[in-house]
Amino acid sequence: MPTSRRVVLAARPDGIPQARHFAVAEAEVPDLKEGEILVRNQFLSVEPAMRGWVSAVANYSQPVGIGAVMRSFASGEVVASRHPGFVPGEKVTGMFGWQELATVPASAVSRKVTETDLPLSASLGVLGLNGLTAYFALLDVGAPRPGDTVVVSTAAGSVGSAVGQIARLMGCRTVAIAGGPDKVRQCVEDFGYDAAIDYKAGEDLATALAAAAPRGVDVYFDNTSGPVSDTVLAQLAIGARVVLCGTASVPSWDPWPTGPRPERHLLVKRARMAGFIVFDYAARYGEALPRLASWIREGRLRYAEDILDGIEAAPDAIAGLYRGENRGKRLIRLHD
Amino acid sequence: MPTSRRVVLAARPDGIPQARHFAVAEAEVPDLKEGEILVRNQFLSVEPAMRGWVSAVANYSQPVGIGAVMRSFASGEVVASRHPGFVPGEKVTGMFGWQELATVPASAVSRKVTETDLPLSASLGVLGLNGLTAYFALLDVGAPRPGDTVVVSTAAGSVGSAVGQIARLMGCRTVAIAGGPDKVRQCVEDFGYDAAIDYKAGEDLATALAAAAPRGVDVYFDNTSGPVSDTVLAQLAIGARVVLCGTASVPSWDPWPTGPRPERHLLVKRARMAGFIVFDYAARYGEALPRLASWIREGRLRYAEDILDGIEAAPDAIAGLYRGENRGKRLIRLHD
């Protein structure tokens, strides 16, 4: 019976999961049951949301159990199938976990990856939930119009970088907010933002934003919440749309954090602020994916990846995200 | 030359305008110039927004000057006209000021009051900006659907009472939040709310709201901001809409008040929060007014008025609103 290496949750973290909370183990791969497929993972995803998946606090889903394989998105190739919808050789992406070989029901597959001319890794980022989030949250909730000024927080991130580029495709002026000179340079040079502000540079963010968005902010794509967002909300244009996509700057919601009340900004500017969760758009993914793929092929949608090699890199990979060490979508590559 | 009594701003208030900040004076009524009309006011409006109109702090409009007639909406009858669009005997409502006789350009008229079978006073409330605000803010921003639970703060107020009744006409379940047993009784008995909560009663508001809105809040019509709203935001249903219409519970925005951050509620519930200012809908008033008038005639839209008699009552009337002494739209009646 073949064996497979896997990363299991060894201890429940109280906060950001660190390398010590995981263990790499080897296990036998069970025989396929009816309706299951065997996937040989090529790329494992690493993302901030994993912090919530291992947290004991109620979240969108049940926490990963102690001793269980770490939940994750992954992409790979079907190597055996007892499901009529899949045949060996097909590329798939889905919830396959941090492991080399995944025995999963067909329901674990998010989709078959048919854009085989593009790198399979993209299926975990710009052609996965990151790109889908950017596409639907910006276009459906942000409702950008040509000439709008679109401001993006964590603008160099996997979602933010796609938001900025799609907004430019819509004819918008794009303003990045990112932390540090490397990310700011990446925003302008790689992702085509019209302006980029380093909120860590010590310059007054309100002043820098007023210079970059002199007519006010028509769309604010908010991945952070916190003081950066408070500053942007004070500079909304009339009729502005604020897309709430993440709250990365808030370390904890227990105790619940306070901040300047946004009501008056929203009232005076007749602006709206709306939350977005990509899974609500699952029925429409097929609308977005071919467009995202076309833009990539045309060179109009670029993306950055931060690839770590080998399953041994996984246990520390989430903590590394929170240390800010990645410069693109973080992935674990298991083989070429 | 005829004379007219008027209320002028005598001193600039620092906060809520009190009786001492106004003076009643008598002045000659000037001859009409080309394009002007002379209106004999029957009702003067008194509203919370007047606090902003006399404030030195920048607001939507220039502050009323010291010695100038207090700005206000009023309704009355055209008694002389040098404008081809108006003839004596017509009823009009507009920005005529706190005075008995108003010499104004035709542009001061908001509209001719054609629903002459209904009391003229209604043109300053349920058939004026209060009713228009309720109609457009609820229907356009709140987007209620039959079966929704609609929660209204300051639910017995001139706007809130209309919101609750229009929401019921839409097939919604309506929950009032109001202060004190009188207003709570008025909400249920006069305005037909399905449930009413006295937020001043000492009972835990979160518990009372959970009982009144067990499936969560689909639409929150927010006239208050502050702790009441913070409690409602924690009980939004998925896809909820929050209409920001006023911030009556916030005594000052300088210094800017803080409160629990709403972002996570809006994100997790995929809810939206949007500001509303009725003047943006001026082009569509003609859509709402005949419907509001029909609902009044049919007994399906009730309204409360708090009428003070004589221009001498005006100087203290705004302060009285903030003392909470009115039980309906406050008006000054100058004659029958």
| ipTM associated with this complex | 0.91
Give the pLDDT score at A60. Answer: 64
Residue A55 lies in a domain: yes
Whether B133 and B209 share a structural domain: yes
Q: Using 50, 70 and 90 to split pLDDT, how confident is the model at A192? A: very high
Q: What are the tokens at B219?
A: 């639409």
CATH number at residue B317: 3.90.180.10
Residue A253 lies in a domain: yes
Which amino acid is it at A82?
A: R
Q: Is residue B179 within 8 Å of residue B199, measured between CB atoms?
A: yes
Nearest-Cα distance to chain A for B240, in Å, is: 10
Whether B162 and B194 share a structural domain: yes
Chain segment A100-133, per-residue pLDDT in tens: 999 999 999 999 999 999 999 999 999 999 999 9
Instruction: Decide if B272 and A272 are in contact by the 8 Å CB cutoff.
Output: yes
Residue A291 lies in a domain: no
Q: Is residue B242 within 8 Å of residue B220, measured between CB atoms?
A: yes
Residue A200 lies in a domain: yes
Instruction: Decide if B274 and A266 are in contact by the 8 Å CB cutoff.
Output: yes
With contacts defined as CB-CB under 8 Å, which chain B residues touch A258? 258-261
Whether B119 and B135 share a structural domain: no
Give the pLDDT score at A124. Answer: 98
Location of structure tokens 């702790």:
B227
Q: Which of A274, A235, A204, A256 is nearest to B258 (CA)?
A: A256
Last residue of a domain, one of B279, B296, B317: B279
Q: Is residue B51 within 8 Å of residue B40, measured between CB atoms?
A: no
Closest partner residue to B263 (CB to CB) among A225, A268, A269 is A225
Whether B115 and B135 share a structural domain: no
Whether B159 and B201 share a structural domain: yes
CATH number at residue A144: 3.40.50.720
- Cα gap A280→A283, rounded to integer Å: 8
- Cα gap A247→A153, rounded to integer Å: 10
Q: Which of B205, B146, B204 is nearest to B176 (CA)?
A: B205
Angle among Cα B228, B231, B233 to the nearest 5 degrees reads: 110
Q: How many domains does chain A have?
A: 2
Residues of A with CB under 8 A from a CB of B: 222, 225, 229, 244-247, 250, 253, 256-277, 280
Give the pLDDT score at B58. Answer: 58
Q: How many CB pairs under 8 A join A and B?
A: 105
Whether A7 and A94 share a structural domain: yes
In this model, does residue B60 exceed pLDDT 80? no
Nearest-Cα distance to chain B for A333, in Å, is: 32
Q: Is residue A75 within 8 Å of residue A111, measured between CB atoms?
A: no
Give the pLDDT score at A58. Answer: 58
Whether B178 and B257 share a structural domain: yes
Whether A184 and A153 share a structural domain: yes
Closest partner residue to A275 (CB to CB) among B259, B267, B277 is B267
Residue A17 lies in a domain: yes
- The pTM of this model reads 0.92
Selected for mutation to probe chain A from B220, B221, B254, B273 (highest A CB count within 10 Å) is B273
Q: What are phi and psi of A181, to 5 degrees?
A: -65, -35
Whether A153 and A95 share a structural domain: no
Residue B285 lies in a domain: no
Chain segment A244-275, per-residue pLDDT in tens: 999 988 888 889 999 999 999 999 999 999 99
Residues of B with CB under 8 A from a CB of A: 222, 225, 229, 244-247, 250, 253, 256-277, 280
Residue B287 lies in a domain: no
Secondary-structure percent of chain B, ordered helix, strand, coil, rounded to 5 = 30, 30, 40
Nearest-Cα distance to chain A for B327, in Å, is: 26
Q: Do the bridges between strand A73-81 and strand A36-45 make them parallel or antiparallel, or are there none, so unpaired?
A: antiparallel
Whether A39 and A51 share a structural domain: yes
Give the pLDDT score at B29. Answer: 96
Q: Using 50, 70 and 90 to split pLDDT, how confident is the model at A49? A: confident
Q: Is residue B138 within 8 Å of residue B219, measured between CB atoms?
A: yes
Whether A134 and A246 share a structural domain: yes
- Cα gap A75→A57, rounded to integer Å: 28
A260 lies in which domain range?
Answer: 129-279
With contacts defined as CB-CB under 8 Å, which chain B residues touch A256? 260-261, 264
Instruction: Decide if B267 and A256 are in contact by the 8 Å CB cutoff.
Output: no
Whether B263 and B311 share a structural domain: no
Residue B266 lies in a domain: yes
Nearest-Cα distance to chain B for A223, in Å, is: 11
The contacts of residue B177 (CB under 8 Å, 6+ apart) are: B151, B152, B153, B154, B155, B196, B197, B199, B205, B209, B228, B232
Burial-class residue A139 by CB neighbours within 10 Å (0-12, 13-18, 19+).
middle
